[in-house]
Amino acid sequence: MTATITEPSFRESVDLMVDRAMCVLGLDEGTATAIKSCNAVLQVKFPVKIRGKIEVFTGWRATHSTHRLPSKGGIRYAPYADQDEVEALASLMTYKCALVDVPFGGSKGALLIDPTQYERDELEMITRRFAHELIRKGFLSPSTNVPAPDIGTGQREMAWIADTYKHLHPEDINYIACVTGKPLFHGGIRGRVEATGRGVQYVAQEFFRHPEDVKSANMQGSLQGKTCVIQGLGNVGYHAAKFLSEEDGVIITAVIERDGALINDNGINIEDLYQHIIAHGSINNFPGATLEENGIAVLEKPCDILIPAALERQITMENADRIQAKLIIEAANGPITYGADEILNKKGIVIIPDAFANAGGVTVSYFEWIRNISHIRLGRMQRRHEETHGLQVASMLEELTGNKISDSLRKAVAHGADELDLVRSGLDDTMRSAYQQIRENLLKNEKITDFRTASYATSIEKIARSYIDVGIY
């Protein structure tokens, strides 16, 4: 954490950013307080016997809002986790879900642990015990509170959680929907692992579809050839960097990791680097770039796009003035503090905020949850029907025109959408529609001058409407 002590905490930082939007909307104080308040926070301490010794672990699950159910949000395993962070992340989930029209409340969980210090079997015991606590205390079920992966957790942990819930609730036909981000053969959905990074790519693509927005960030043209610095090559960062470089022609000029940064102005091959990290556990000695030991300083490297995809509070009042990117896409949650946000706005740097930029994960989690409660793979009923229909259309065109359709066109027309096609299409549509709603708010309200305030305003309007329509009970 690089923030100086004079800056507000992560939770206060989120609240201050939200206040800015609430002020623009002129929301009454009661509704504003109701929206901002965290509904419930559970702290658990539980013992697990590790290598013959009893260790006591501390975990949290915060339910920020329940205006829609279930409440949704990841579980992270980190040695620096605390309640303030969990509450901040839970509140971000509320705004995020509303923004992308995912009908869930906001929640988040964390376990204070350094997962690298434990063996697989030990992590399984700890995870099952943590899940047990959350389930028994009403903070985990398919209908009320559904976790997903976050920092330090992945498909494996989600499978252990689902299995623990199943053992405690064998009568619940929807048990598999108690958690998302599961492995494919345990109720997961195709496209979930890469969903957040894919969502970041779709956000960047949509931004570059609007020349006026590109101009406002002092750039022109398309994504092709734009330079990009990325911080964190974990789940989110790896996929975002891979898709942007391999599919959109973005040049990744630096990758910042926990052990330094790699720089290559001609572009770093992300797949090669990722395989290097898997093989060696570090970015050190990667042949395709130069190592800079002071990783965080590389956030200040001039580039078109900066993507923080690691931790919160990386751009603070201490380094904000030295940031030289034209566009920042917040793939991580809370990478910019409130004070830094104000500095960056004054500098004219365009920021696509976390509440929108990394919403791809929860969007595809929503698709997975729907798949789980409907007990059927997306596209299973339609795929072959679409294929037959496409072939009939192709034959009809041939008959009417007397011309033969090429094999590649026939194949394309007769392609029935499978689950991955549907997930990608649903995610792309979600990110584009949300961008357009945010943009509309930015253009129509002269008091709104940045994407973050426009995003929160868009989201808060929807949440407030649900409170006003239903009333407070």
The answer to whether 33 and 357 have CB atoms below 8 angstroms apart is no
Query: Which residues, other chains included, contact 440 with Cβ-Cβ below 8 Å and sequence gap of 6+?
Result: none
In the complex, the smallest distance separating the C-beta of residue 452 from ligand NAD, rounded to whole angstroms, is 16
Instruction: State the DSSP code for 223.
Output: S
Number of residues that bind ligand NAD (CB under 6 A): 24
Cα angle 300, 302, 307; round to 5: 70
108 among known catalytic residues: yes
Query: Which residues, other chains included, contact 95 with Cβ-Cβ below 8 Å and sequence gap of 6+?
Result: 18, 106, 355, 455, 456, 459, 460, 463
Residue 94 binding ligand NAD, by CB under 6 A: no
Measured CA to CA, the distance from residue 108 to residue 333 in angstroms comes to 12
Active-site residue, from 36, 72, 108, 326: 108
| Binders in 325-344 for ligand NAD, by CB under 6 A | 331-333
Q: Which is nearer to ligand NAD, 87 or 448 (CB)?
A: 87
| Binders in 356-395 for ligand NAD, by CB under 6 A | 358, 361
Segment lying near ligand NAD (by CB under 6 A), choices 5-13, 209-217, 227-235, 439-447: 227-235
Residue 73 binding ligand NAD, by CB under 6 A: no
Annotate each residue in 422-441 with x if it binds ligand NAD (CB under 6 A) or - if it does not, as one string.
Answer: --------------------
Measured CA to CA, the distance from residue 75 to residue 151 in angstroms comes to 8
Crossing angle for the helix pair 10-25 and 29-36, nearest 10 degrees? 150
Annotate each residue in 32-71 with x if it binds ligand NAD (CB under 6 A) or - if it does not, as one string.
Answer: ----------------------------------------
The answer to whether 367 and 378 have CB atoms below 8 angstroms apart is yes
Q: Which is nearer to ligand NAD, 134 or 332 (CB)?
A: 332
In the complex, the smallest distance separating the C-beta of residue 5 from ligand NAD, rounded to whole angstroms, is 19
The answer to whether 223 and 293 have CB atoms below 8 angstroms apart is no
Q: Which is nearer to ligand NAD, 236 or 344 (CB)?
A: 236
Query: Which residues, other chains included, contact 399 with Cβ-Cβ below 8 Å and sequence gap of 6+?
Result: none
Cα angle 205, 208, 214; round to 5: 150
Q: Which is nearer to ligand NAD, 42 or 273 (CB)?
A: 273
In the complex, the smallest distance separating the C-beta of residue 35 from ligand NAD, rounded to whole angstroms, is 21
Residues pairing with 255 in the sheet: 230, 262
In the complex, the smallest distance separating the C-beta of residue 309 from ligand NAD, rounded to whole angstroms, is 5
Annotate each residue in 285-314 with x if it binds ligand NAD (CB under 6 A) or - if it does not, as one string.
Answer: ----------x-------------xxx---
Annotate each residue in 258-287 with x if it binds ligand NAD (CB under 6 A) or - if it does not, as one string.
Answer: x-----------------------------
Residue 231 binding ligand NAD, by CB under 6 A: yes
- For the residues of 398-423, what is the DSSP string, one character each? HHHH-PPPPHHHHHHHTPPP-HHHHH
